[in-house]
Amino acid sequence: MTIESAFPWGVIDMIWLGLGTLAAGGITTMLLLIAGHCFRWERILGQPLPRLAAYVYGVLAIIAGSGVWAILNSLLGVVSVSPAYVVIVSICMAVCGGIATTGAWIVDALIDGHAYKRGWLHAVEEVDTINHGLEK
C-alpha cells in the first residue's frame, strides 16, 4: 500500500486541508473572543461581565474552535481525531485565543490613548466623577 493510495486526495491536498481546518478552528476561536470582548455586557447585565464569567466564556471559545476543527476533519476525512491531535489543536486554539485577547487589549489601549490626547477621555472622567460624587 503506497501513501498515495491511503488518502482519497493527494498528500499535498491532505496537508492543505489539514491546515485549512486548523485555520477555521483558530478563526472561530479568535472571532468569538473578539466578539465577547467588544460586546456591551453592561447593557444586558447592568455591569461589566464578571471575571469568572469572562474566563468561562474564553474557555468555551477555545473549546468551540477545537470542535470546529474536529467536525471539519471528520467530515472531510483529513485525519482521524485522536486524543494527541485534540491536545495539540487545543494548544493551537489557546494560542489563537491569546493572540486575539492581546490584540483586543492593545486596540483598547490605543483607542484610550487617542481619546486622552484629544481630551475626550478627560471629559468622560469628569462626568464620571460628578455622577459618582468623587473628588479629584
pLDDT at 42: 85
DSSP class of 49: P
Mark the ranges of the chain whose per-residue pLDDT is less than 70: 1-14, 79, 114-136
Question: How many C-beta neighbours within 10 Å does residue 62 have?
Answer: 24
CA 87 to each of CA 47, 92, 93: distance values in angstroms, whole numbers, following the listed order = 35, 9, 10
Look up the pTM and report it. 0.71
Task: Report the domain count for the chain.
Answer: 1
| Cell numbers 444586558: residue | 44
Treating both helix axes as pointing N-terminal to C-terminal, what angle do 11-38 and 51-76 enclose, rounded to 10 degrees? Answer: 160
Domain enclosing residue 80, as ranges: 3-132
User: Which pLDDT score, from 0 to 100, does residue 61 have?
Assistant: 95
Q: What is the pLDDT of residue 8?
A: 58
- pLDDT attached to residue 45: 87
Q: Which residue matches cell numbers 479629584?
A: 136
Task: Render pLDDT for 54-71 as a digit per residue (tens, 0 to 9).
Answer: 999 999 999 999 999 888
Q: Which residues touch 93 (CB under 8 Å, ≥6 apart)?
A: 25, 26, 29, 62, 63, 65, 66, 69
pLDDT of residue 96: 95
